[in-house]
Amino acid sequence: MPGHDGGRGDEDTSWAARLSEPGSPVCTPDWLTLREPADAVARSVELARRAAEHLGDGPVSVRDLGCGTGAMRRWLAPLLPGPQRWYLHDRDPELLARATEGAPDAEPVPGDLTALTVDDLAGTDLVTASALLDLLTADEVTALVAACAEAGCVALFALSVAGRVELEPADPLDAHVAAAFNDHQRRTADGRRLLGPDAHAVAAAEFRARGVPVTTRPSPWLLGPAKAELTEEWLRGWISAACDQRPDLRPSAGAYLQRRLADLAAGRLHVRVDHVDLLATPGRPPC
């Protein structure tokens, strides 16, 4: 579990994540709640409005893949034409229950979203997801792109990690943690090699190879004293993933976290975590 020693004995794990495990498809509701305001600020409103233009006047059928607690629907629905019908996909029943609570326009769809086919997308106008592509393999991204393109669905994929993090002031350990984190995002897990920060570029290339127009926009998290709780949890998750990838970083991790938390408490730590939003706008298939 996050925040526990994971079998490391008496090793100091004070740096460990409490709520988040970057690169893991398993997300706690508390982590998703904590990050929701930052996600809402970061996502590209421009791309959401462009998606709405392609959808016309409605009604609109939307599939939200890896919906979590439903944050994408809460952010995107006001920007789309109505009426709308949302199909919320997640393999976690607790998250699905939260996502559909008080949402009469939403229907839960449990199960493995990587198995979606073009037939599953029949009648769907928009496929969307947030912070999902980087958790997929190249084959899974290719299959998802192919299904969207063949079904003629508009696709809006938000907040894919870009592999770039900037911290001010700088610390000598920053680059080592960042490199290890990116390697962790690209790791092989349960026989699946995740794309991590390469995912958005792979998705864009796959859409373009099928003749589908693609637009991307930066969607960075800007963290710091104004988002102190999220910044600390992000730091812990970032460091934890780096240490999982490179155990030689563990002896330095506690002191590194404490330096960064001291910078945060003093109001001088500012972090930019780069993400990318992607919009693909296929034409409708012939009748």
Over the stretch 25-55, which tens digit does the pLDDT of each residue have? 556 788 999 999 999 999 999 999 999 999 9
Least confident of 58-62, 63-67, 74-78, 155-159: 58-62
Taking alpha carbons only, the member of 162, 184, 157 closest to residue 249 is: 184
Taking alpha carbons only, the member of 190, 178, 164, 163 closest to residue 245 is: 178
Helices (H), 159-198: 174-185
Residue bearing tokens 């988040």 = 20
Q: Extract the tokens encoding 97.
A: 């229950």
The answer to whether the beta carbons of residues 276 and 200 sit under 8 Å apart is yes
State how beta strands 106-110 and 84-90 pair: parallel
Architecture category of domain 29-280 in CATH? 3-Layer(aba) Sandwich (3.40)
pLDDT confidence of 113, banded at 50, 70, 90?
Answer: confident
**Amino acid identity for residue 43 in this structure:** R
* Residue 2 CB neighbour total at 10 angstroms: 18
Mean pLDDT (the chain) is 91
Question: Phi, psi at residue 154, to the nearest 5°?
Answer: -65, 140
pLDDT confidence of 6, banded at 50, 70, 90?
Answer: very low
The domain ranges of the chain are 29-280
Predicted local distance difference test score (pLDDT) of residue 56: 82
Helices (H), the chain: 29-42, 45-55, 71-76, 93-100, 138-151, 174-185, 199-209, 228-245, 250-265
pLDDT confidence of 189, banded at 50, 70, 90?
Answer: confident
103 pLDDT higher than 70:
yes
The answer to whether the beta carbons of residues 171 and 238 sit under 8 Å apart is no
Predicted local distance difference test score (pLDDT) of residue 5: 38
Q: Extract the tokens encoding 186.
A: 């690209």
Predicted local distance difference test score (pLDDT) of residue 253: 95
Least confident of 109-113, 199-203, 232-236, 241-245: 109-113
